[in-house]
Each structure stands twice: as C-alpha cells, then as structure tokens.
C-alpha cells in the first residue's frame, strides 16, 4: 500500500508553504527533498521496523 507522508505544502485556504522540486536517496536510505519556496532541504528517515 502507498501512504502519503509529505503533505501540507498547500494549506486548505490555498496558501502555498513550499514546492518540492527534487528528491534523492542518501547513502543511509533516507530521502533528501529540496523545495524552492524558501530554499529548504528536508531529510526524511524511516523509524519503523522492517516488515
């Protein structure tokens, strides 16, 4: 199953908080996401167990 884990860039009133523009996978398996709304780079890691 797919699960959306990166929501919230557009608020219900239409205000935009950012715009993801690039995704890469780091050596440790985390996702690196860049957004050009304010130049933020996000590192997304998985903290659950293996299935």
| Confidence at residue 33, expressed as pLDDT on a 0 to 100 scale | 92
| Confidence at residue 3, expressed as pLDDT on a 0 to 100 scale | 76
Give the chain's mean pLDDT: 85
- Which residues contact residue 48 at a Cβ distance below 8 angstroms, ignoring those fewer than 6 apart? none
pLDDT band for 38, please (50, 70, 90 cuts): confident
Q: What tokens appear for 39 in the block?
A: 């130049």
Q: What are phi and psi of 36, to 5 degrees?
A: -100, 10
Q: What value does the mean pLDDT take over residues 24-44?
A: 91
**With a threshold of 0.85, does the pTM exceed it?**
no
């Amino acid at each position: 199953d797919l699960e959306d884990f990166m929501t919230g860039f557009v608020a219900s009133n239409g205000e935009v908080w950012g715009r993801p523009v690039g995704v890469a996978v780091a050596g440790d398996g985390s996702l690196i996401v860049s957004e050009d709304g304010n130049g933020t780079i996000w590192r997304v890691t998985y903290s659950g167990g293996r299935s």
